[in-house]
Amino acid sequence: MRYSTASLGRIFIVRLEDGDVLHEEIEGLARQEGISAAALIALGGADSGSRLVVGPKEGRAERILPMETILEDVHEVVGVGTLFPDETGKPILHMHTACGHQTDTITGCVRRGVKVWHILEVVIFELTGTGATRRLDEKLGFKLLSP
């Protein structure tokens, strides 16, 4: 286990609107407002055509090959995530959502492009006093949190 500490900074109340792409809007807001690190919660709707990373193709492979699914209809969404900068200072959102439609639920990461259906509410809890970043892990092939 690796860890560091942080303090609570500002809190942002955000309403994303129809057609917005979740990770693009949140990362853009982070750049605009100078949010370096944050914890986030989200709820609302995801539109059909939204893309989710739904797990690795092989659980114990040397290099992780992500699988993707596309939502075929509108889904209810609840999500939780973190935002930390990469090595260049670019804010990177890592958020997983559970997306439900009738009795079916799909859970996955929003990095491939979750489009908002009408409204998606996000509360961003800024974290200050941390030097945590996301750094590329060559072996796994994606950016890991380095507290």
Q: What are 94-133's pLDDT values in tens digits? A: 999 999 999 999 999 999 999 999 999 999 999 999 999 9
34-78 residue pLDDT tens:
999 999 999 999 999 999 999 888 877 777 788 999 999 999 999
Q: Residue ranges of the domains in the chain?
A: 9-146
Instruction: Just give the CATH number of 9-146.
Output: 3.30.1330.80
pTM: 0.94
Burial profile 23-34: b = 16 or more Cβ within 10 angstroms, e = fewer = bebbbebbeeee
CA 141 to chain centroid: 17
